[in-house]
């Protein structure tokens, strides 16, 4: 097992290198200039812009810049942001916690909804519950997160005035109030992401359970007198979850993508909103680092999915 | 407007027949900045308007939290590295200049004890130096005293080319010397009419010597104070997350009594302008939101929420159309729009005049910008009739047709005018931005009725405004016949603003299109006026020169600029908040005086 993980990690290196080359080239070829605002400001002499460009090495050929970036990266130096002039890793560390909290909670919410609803719907196919669940699931994943986000803001913040729609990473309160404030501001973004994710998962869970529930071993389990609850939880769900796990792992990048928009709407200071503001400011080192972090996450979640397979289905062995 | 007319107006102000404010407004109509207008009055001995601020709180603190929203959050807090106004605004919460500009263009002392003037002998008669007296008893947030050394150091820091500060344009050509602990002298190498640039306003924020002295030049990036500002302002630094939030608390040792009113300050960044407007106008979660670049119709609807209002502050930004004087379609020595060419059709004054008549500014104001863009045909000959002229002169398709007929431009079979085989077909470019595309459509429609065909082109803003030498679609390259964008006159002095029409500033391949004159207008009279204005110490004479320069670039004979709308700054503020905002300085320039009406 450790050998397997090691091998997978080693295989990941060339793919990450490939990703970094593509990202770097695309960014270098993309138009724009981090000092664009200086260009339109008559008070700033052009020499300043030239000096800054030279200082940040923007005038060198792409190859030279890439080699410089990758060798710095290999030594753990992520470079520094052109616009805030601080190290990129500091910038990302400040932000990554919030993103993981929001995405993690929304993912838990999605699973909490999807698994019970999907399983119940599958055990009673074409019942009223199944049909309602199906309809809602369709509605849920047809609505993009930016739309539901705005809708939630309109309903809960503006009409009802229950929840704040500006997220604050550091709440100035202590004790229970701190938790309460955190929950209040996090409800909407987590619900937006979690419901979207949950809606699409419901349908997968349902069909996976339906596939399994008709198999002979389930009939056997029932025949030997096990309770329905045990049959479903221990025998059906565990086997049905394998394709669902793959799906969740493979959807993680999409969730991060959805989170970018949600973060922007709710002003969540996560890496998604950092990415957007860096793209707008043409802050290449930050864009590079954030997209690279995303790439690493994708590779990592694939690995996690593979490992979870083994745990869920001991027939799968790692070699 | 000639010099003697200006003088007559100033005399009227002196006699009390004209208010100071309406004088300033007239000068704005002429394309001059409010600071220049008030400088003229000062020079002519009109008593300075007593800048009294209506500040009601009678003790420091007790106001609770001030929550403000910048939808582009400040990313660094060193004013001399600020890449945009957002960073300057953020820095200004902590740092102060010697003086700032109020909304009427008056200098208001911050760290200076008084404003230099001829009467108090601090302005040299030859215009080559100015003496600033500093306020005594001011302390940095870390308790160290503020002295002349800090002022001199700020100059050294910013002027050092190795530091590459964005304010170096202000400091590189001056010299600063310390007279005593609380007096500094700024020396200019030639007579300088506009002396209030260094240490004033946005570029003038003074930084503490004791914290930056080890970080001058190439090491400037490493200064920890870049992210943890220690200033003299009304609020002290607590926490900063780039692009996300700034936290500050009231400075108990602030050098102005009873200020600030609020105990804490929180600036949240990120998001978009519309939802920022919502947070102030509809839900009241925040007290103030910066830069409301939102269609006025939406703002009006949000204002019905009743929690806040939109506040429009006049400034100097002008959305304008430029006509290319060179030929963008012929390549000479590897560049298009080369100075060696002449535009085949726009070089005819009749065509340019017709185009000037075809821009329906009023519709643009009414249907696109609302309060955030005021139609301007400014630069008129007679400010006395300013109001009535503006509506009359603007838009006249019939007259444009008549002009073109007279000049021999005949309509062809396709309805497009032509002469000597050259058709009136233009490519009209601007950046992608909803109001601009609507504006383009309005102009195109009118032009069609006059037999002029316009092909509309829109370029992504990050390309259009970039200095990317390899890209053909940037505004300095101007590889089109007509282009439109907003030029910012944030600088109180028009000197740098007006150099964008000097012949030596023409953007060419030779200067890597760094020249600031994209229309490439070359006019001898303009060049001469500009050169003369640089050494002219009499502000009235100088103002008259600027007015004439304006007339040349928008004039019927040689003009290549069509002003469309003024873009005043719009911000959203809670109904109870009293914030003093000036269009000639940062939004946060007077944050010490903000308070809440109870």
Average pLDDT over every residue of A85-104: 87
Is A153 close to B497, i.e. CB distance below 8 A?
Answer: no
Partners of B200 in the beta sheet? B99
Is B466 close to A169, i.e. CB distance below 8 A?
Answer: no
Question: Is residue B534 pLDDT above 60, yes or no?
Answer: yes
Q: Give the per-residue SS3 of B479-514.
A: CCCEEEEEECCCCCCHHHHHHHHCHHHECCCCCCCC
Contacts of B435 (CB under 8 A, 6+ apart): B295, B368, B369, B373
Query: Please, what is the Cα angle at B314 between B65 and B263, to 5 degrees?
Result: 10
Neighbours of A126 (CB within 10 A): 9
Worst-scoring range by mean pLDDT, B53-57, B77-81, B173-177, B239-243?
B53-57
- CA gap B511, A121 in Å, rounded: 71
Cα diameter, chain A = 85
B169 touches chain A (CB under 8 A): yes
A44 touches chain B (CB under 8 A): yes
Residue B82, pLDDT score: 84
Question: Is residue B187 pLDDT above 90, yes or no?
Answer: yes
The token pair that represents B479 in the structure block: 């590889």
Average pLDDT over every residue of A287-293: 88
Cβ-Cβ contacts under 8 Å, A79 against chain B: none
- CA gap B112, B573 in Å, rounded: 29
The token pair that represents A150 in the structure block: 């705005």
Q: Using a pLDDT cut of 70, give the percent of chain B over it.
A: 94
Q: Which residue among A44, A158, A267 places its CB closest to the CB of B283?
A: A158
* Nearest chain B CA: its distance from A89 CA (Å): 13
Contacts of B531 (CB under 8 A, 6+ apart): none
Confidence grade of residue B325 (pLDDT, cut at 50, 70, 90): very high
Strand B308-313, strand B453-459: pairing: unpaired
Cβ-Cβ contacts under 8 Å, B170 against chain A: 43
User: Torsion angle of alpha carbons B279, B280, B286, B289, nearest 10°?
Assistant: 100
Residue B52, pLDDT score: 65
pLDDT tens for each residue of B292-313: 878 888 889 999 878 899 988 8
Instruction: Tell me how far the alpha carbon of residue B242 is from its chain's centroid.
Output: 25
Which of B244, B306, B512 is the mutation pick for testing A, counting most A CBs within 10 A?
B244
Cα diameter, chain B = 80
Cβ(B37)–Cβ(B23) under 8 Å?
yes
Confidence grade of residue A56 (pLDDT, cut at 50, 70, 90): confident
The token pair that represents B497 in the structure block: 């603003």
- DSSP assignments along B247-302, one per residue: EEEE-TT-SSTT----SEEEEEE-S-HHHHHHHHHTS-S-SEE----S-HHHHHHH
A205 vs A39, residue with greater confidence: A205
- CA gap B358, B400 in Å, rounded: 7
- CA gap B382, A212 in Å, rounded: 87
Average pLDDT over every residue of B353-363: 88
Residue B31, pLDDT score: 65
Q: Which residue among B239, B243, B283 places its CB closest to the CB of A277?
A: B243
pLDDT tens for each residue of B461-471: 777 877 677 78
The token pair that represents A265 in the structure block: 């709407």
Cβ(B320)–Cβ(B336) under 8 Å?
no
Question: Is residue B489 pLDDT above 70, yes or no?
Answer: no
Question: Is residue B491 pLDDT above 70, yes or no?
Answer: no
Which is it for the CA torsion B576, B582, B587, B590, positive or negative? negative
B172 touches chain A (CB under 8 A): yes
Looking up tokens 């890439």, which residue turns up?
A66
Cβ-Cβ contacts under 8 Å, B307 against chain A: none
Confidence grade of residue B381 (pLDDT, cut at 50, 70, 90): very low
Is A153 close to B282, i.e. CB distance below 8 A?
Answer: no
pLDDT tens for each residue of A117-133: 998 998 888 899 999 99
Residue B211, pLDDT score: 93
pLDDT tens for each residue of B137-169: 999 999 999 999 999 999 999 998 888 788 888
Q: Which residue among A31, A158, A267 places its CB closest to the CB of B271?
A: A267
Residue B389, pLDDT score: 36
Using only the alpha carbons of chain B, give its radius of gyration.
25
Cβ(B412)–Cβ(B360) under 8 Å?
no
- CA gap A244, A249 in Å, rounded: 9
Average pLDDT over every residue of A19-48: 77
Is A168 close to B75, i.e. CB distance below 8 A?
Answer: no
Determine the length of chain A.
Answer: 319
Confidence grade of residue A75 (pLDDT, cut at 50, 70, 90): confident
Is A95 close to B244, i.e. CB distance below 8 A?
Answer: yes
Is B169 close to A44, i.e. CB distance below 8 A?
Answer: yes
Which of A28, A34, A49, A83 is the mutation pick for testing B, counting most B CBs within 10 A?
A83
The token pair that represents A109 in the structure block: 């919410």
DSSP code of B218?
A: G
- CA gap B190, B220 in Å, rounded: 30
Q: Which residue among B466, B500, B514 places its CB closest to the CB of A36?
A: B466
Q: Which residue among B167, B244, B500 places its CB closest to the CB of A42?
A: B500
- CA gap B214, B210 in Å, rounded: 8
Confidence grade of residue B528 (pLDDT, cut at 50, 70, 90): very high
Is B244 close to A169, i.e. CB distance below 8 A?
Answer: yes
Which is it for the CA torsion A16, A17, A19, A23, positive or negative? positive
- Name the average pLDDT for chain B: 85
Cβ(B372)–Cβ(B568) under 8 Å?
yes
DSSP code of B584?
A: T
Is B241 close to A169, i.e. CB distance below 8 A?
Answer: yes
Q: Which residue among A49, A164, A269 places its CB closest to the CB of B244?
A: A269
Residue B388, pLDDT score: 31
The token pair that represents B367 in the structure block: 């249907």
Closest-CA residue of chain A to B491: A43
Question: Is residue B556 pLDDT above 90, yes or no?
Answer: no
Cβ-Cβ contacts under 8 Å, B468 against chain A: 31-33
Residue B318, pLDDT score: 80
Residue B385, pLDDT score: 29
Q: Report the run of H or E that residue B441 belongs to, with start and end.
A: helix B434-449
First to last CA, chain B: 47
Cβ(B215)–Cβ(B80) under 8 Å?
no
Q: Which residue among A49, A84, A153 places its CB closest to the CB of B467?
A: A49
Distances (CA, A) of B142 to A178, B87, B147, B181: 30, 22, 14, 19
- CA gap B177, B198 in Å, rounded: 13
The token pair that represents A25 in the structure block: 């080239």
Cβ(B521)–Cβ(B505) under 8 Å?
no
Worst-scoring range by mean pLDDT, A57-61, A128-132, B316-320, B380-384?
B380-384
Question: Is residue B275 pLDDT above 60, yes or no?
Answer: yes
Distances (CA, A) of A60 to A28, B165, B563: 11, 22, 39
B66 vs B371, residue with greater confidence: B66
Residue B84, pLDDT score: 78
Q: How many CB pairs under 8 A join A and B?
A: 156
Cβ(B484)–Cβ(B439) under 8 Å?
yes
Confidence grade of residue B26 (pLDDT, cut at 50, 70, 90): confident
Residue A239, pLDDT score: 82
B29 vs B99, residue with greater confidence: B99
Q: For residue B518, give the nearest of B566, B565, B467, B558 by alpha carbon.
A: B467
First to last CA, chain A: 8
Worst-scoring range by mean pLDDT, B232-241, B357-366, B443-452?
B357-366
Contacts of B164 (CB under 8 A, 6+ apart): A48, A51, A52, A55, B220
B29 vs A253, residue with greater confidence: A253
Residue B254, pLDDT score: 94
pLDDT tens for each residue of A127-184: 999 999 999 999 988 888 889 988 998 899 888 888 888 888 777 777 788 888 888 8
Confidence grade of residue B428 (pLDDT, cut at 50, 70, 90): very high
Instruction: Tell me how far the alpha carbon of residue B292 is from its chain's centroid.
Output: 16
Instruction: Tell me how far the alpha carbon of residue B345 is from its chain's centroid.
Output: 33
Residue A112, pLDDT score: 93
Strand B288-289, strand B65-70: pairing: parallel
Is B170 close to A43, i.e. CB distance below 8 A?
Answer: yes
Q: Give the per-residue SS3 of B77-114.
A: CCHHHCCCHHHHHHHHCCCCCCEEECCCCCEEECCECC
Looking up tokens 């090495």, which residue turns up?
A57
A158 touches chain B (CB under 8 A): yes
Residue A50, pLDDT score: 77
Residue B181, pLDDT score: 93
- CA gap A92, B453 in Å, rounded: 51
List all residues of chain B from 49 to 78 with a beta carbon under 8 Å from chain A.
69, 72-73, 75-76, 78
Q: For residue A48, give the nearest of B507, B517, B467, B497 by alpha carbon.
A: B467
Q: Which residue among B203, B282, B465 places its CB closest to the CB of A43?
A: B203
Looking up tokens 């003037």, which residue turns up?
B117
Which is it for the CA torsion B14, B16, B21, B22, positive or negative? negative
Task: Count the alpha carbons within 13 Å of B110 in the hemisphere toward its beta carbon.
Answer: 31
Cβ-Cβ contacts under 8 Å, B499 against chain A: 42
Looking up tokens 């595309």, which residue turns up?
B437
Residue B392, pLDDT score: 44
Question: Is residue B386 pLDDT above 50, yes or no?
Answer: no
pLDDT tens for each residue of B366-380: 888 888 887 776 543
Phi, psi (rounded to 5 degrees) for B99: -155, 155
Which of A51, A85, A168 is the mutation pick for testing B, counting most B CBs within 10 A?
A85
Confidence grade of residue B125 (pLDDT, cut at 50, 70, 90): confident
B494 vs B288, residue with greater confidence: B288
Q: Say whether B179 sits in a helix, a strand or coil.
A: strand
Distances (CA, A) of B429 to B318, B322, B432, B559: 17, 10, 9, 19
Is pTM, for the whole model, over 0.80? yes
Distances (CA, A) of B55 to B77, B106, B303: 27, 18, 26
Question: Is residue B390 pLDDT above 50, yes or no?
Answer: no
Q: DSSP E strands: which ranges in B173-225? A: 174-180, 183-188
Question: Is residue B493 pLDDT above 80, yes or no?
Answer: no
List all residues of chain A from 54 to 93 with a beta carbon under 8 Å from chain B.
55, 80-81, 83-86, 91
- CA gap B302, B182 in Å, rounded: 49
Cβ(B112)–Cβ(B99) under 8 Å?
yes
Q: Say whether B429 sits in a helix, a strand or coil.
A: strand
Omega of the bond prior to B260 within 30 degrees of 0, cis?
yes
Is B161 close to A51, i.e. CB distance below 8 A?
Answer: yes
Is A51 close to B75, i.e. CB distance below 8 A?
Answer: no
pLDDT tens for each residue of B219-265: 887 888 988 999 999 999 999 988 889 999 999 999 998 989 999 99
């Amino acid at each position: 097992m450790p050998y397997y993980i090691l091998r997978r990690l080693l295989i990941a290196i060339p793919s990450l290198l490939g990703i970094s080359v593509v990202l770097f080239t695309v960014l270098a070829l993309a138009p724009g200039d981090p000092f664009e605002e200086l260009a339109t400001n008559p008070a700033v002499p052009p020499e300043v812009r030239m000096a800054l460009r030279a200082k940040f090495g923007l005038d060198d050929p792409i190859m030279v810049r890439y080699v410089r970036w990758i060798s710095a990266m290999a030594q753990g130096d992520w470079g520094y942001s052109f616009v805030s002039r601080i190290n990129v890793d500091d910038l990302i560390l400040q932000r990554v916690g919030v993103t993981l909290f929001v995405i993690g909670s929304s993912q838990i919410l999605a699973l909490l909804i999807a698994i019970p609803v999907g399983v119940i719907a599958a055990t009673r196919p074409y019942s009223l519950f199944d049909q309602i669940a199906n309809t809602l699931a369709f509605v849920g994943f047809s609505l993009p997160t930016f739309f539901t986000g705005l809708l939630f803001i309109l309903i809960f913040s503006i009409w009802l005035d229950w929840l704040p729609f500006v997220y604050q990473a550091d709440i100035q309160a202590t004790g229970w109030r701190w938790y309460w404030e955190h929950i209040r501001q996090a409800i909407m973004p987590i619900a937006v992401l979690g419901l979207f994710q949950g809606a699409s998962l419901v349908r997968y869970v349902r069909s996976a359970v339906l596939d399994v529930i008709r198999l002979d071993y389930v009939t056997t389990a029932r025949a030997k007198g096990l309770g329905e609850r045990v049959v479903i939880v221990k025998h059906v769900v565990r086997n049905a979850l394998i394709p669902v796990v793959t799906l969740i792992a493979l959807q993680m990048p999409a969730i991060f993508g959805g989170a970018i928009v949600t973060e922007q709407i709710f002003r969540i200071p996560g890496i998604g909103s950092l990415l957007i503001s860096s793209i707008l400011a043409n802050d290449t080192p930050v864009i590079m680092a954030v997209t690279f972090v995303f790439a690493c996450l994708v590779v990592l979640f694939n690995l996690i999915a593979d490992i979870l397979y083994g745990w869920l289905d001991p027939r799968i062995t790692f070699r | 407007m000639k010099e003697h007319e200006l003088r007559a107006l100033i005399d009227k102000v002196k006699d009390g027949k004209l208010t100071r404010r309406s004088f300033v407004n007239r000068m704005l109509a002429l394309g001059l900045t409010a600071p220049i207008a008030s400088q003229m009055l000062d020079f002519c001995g009109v008593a300075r308007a007593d800048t009294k601020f209506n500040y009601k709180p009678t003790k420091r603190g007790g106001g609770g939290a001030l929550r403000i929203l910048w939808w582009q959050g400040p990313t660094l807090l060193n004013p001399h590295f600020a890449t945009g106004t957002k960073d300057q605004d953020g820095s200004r919460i902590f740092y102060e200049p010697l003086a700032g500009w109020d909304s009427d263009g008056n200098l208001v002392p911050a760290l200076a004890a008084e404003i230099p003037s001829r009467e108090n002998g601090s302005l040299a008669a030859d215009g080559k130096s100015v003496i600033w007296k500093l306020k005594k008893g001011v302390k940095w947030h870390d308790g160290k005293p503020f002295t002349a050394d800090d002022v001199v150091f700020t100059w050294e820091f910013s002027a050092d080319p190795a530091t590459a500060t964005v304010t170096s344009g202000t400091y590189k050509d001056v010299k600063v010397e310390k007279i005593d602990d609380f007096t500094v002298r700024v020396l200019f190498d030639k007579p300088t009419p506009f002396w209030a640039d260094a240490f004033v306003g946005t570029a003038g924020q003074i930084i503490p010597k004791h914290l930056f002295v080890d970080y001058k030049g190439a090491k400037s990036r490493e200064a920890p104070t870049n992210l943890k500002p220690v200033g003299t302002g009304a609020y002290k630094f607590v926490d900063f997350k780039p692009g996300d939030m700034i936290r500050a608390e009231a400075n108990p040792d602030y050098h102005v009594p009873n200020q600030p009113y609020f105990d804490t300050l929180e600036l949240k960044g990120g998001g978009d302008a519309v939802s920022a407007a919502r947070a102030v106008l509809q839900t009241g979660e925040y007290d103030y939101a910066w830069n409301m670049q939102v269609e006025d119709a939406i703002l009006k609807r949000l204002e019905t929420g009743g929690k806040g209002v939109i506040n429009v502050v006049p400034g100097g930004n002008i959305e304008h159309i430029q006509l290319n004087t060179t030929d963008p379609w012929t390549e000479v020595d590897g560049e298009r729009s080369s100075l060696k060419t002449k535009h085949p059709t726009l070089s005819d004054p009749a065509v340019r005049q017709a185009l000037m008549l075809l821009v329906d500014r009023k519709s643009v104001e009414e249907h696109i910008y609302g309060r955030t863009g005021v139609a301007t045909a400014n630069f008129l000959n007679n400010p006395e009739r300013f109001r009535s002229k503006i509506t009359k002169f603007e838009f006249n398709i019939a007259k444009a047709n008549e002009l073109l007929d007279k000049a021999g431009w005949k309509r062809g079979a396709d309805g497009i005018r032509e002469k000597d085989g050259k058709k009136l077909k233009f490519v009209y470019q601007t950046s992608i931005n909803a109001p601009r595309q609507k504006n383009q459509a309005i102009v195109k429609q009118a032009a069609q009725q006059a037999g002029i065909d316009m092909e509309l082109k829109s370029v992504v803003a990050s390309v259009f405004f970039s200095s990317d030498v390899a890209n053909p679609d940037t505004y300095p390259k101007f590889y089109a016949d007509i282009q439109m964008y907003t030029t910012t006159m944030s600088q109180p002095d028009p000197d740098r603003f007006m150099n964008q029409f000097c012949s030596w500033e023409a953007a060419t391949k030779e200067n890597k299109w760094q020249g600031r004159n994209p229309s490439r207008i070359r006019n001898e009279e303009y060049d001469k006026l500009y050169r003369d204005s640089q050494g002219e110490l009499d502000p009235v004479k100088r103002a008259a020169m600027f007015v004439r320069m304006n007339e040349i670039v928008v004039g019927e004979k040689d003009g290549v600029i069509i002003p469309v709308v003024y873009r005043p700054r719009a911000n959203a503020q809670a109904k109870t908040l009293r914030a003093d905002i000036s269009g000639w300085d940062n939004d946060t320039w007077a944050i010490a005086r903000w308070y809440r009406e109870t």
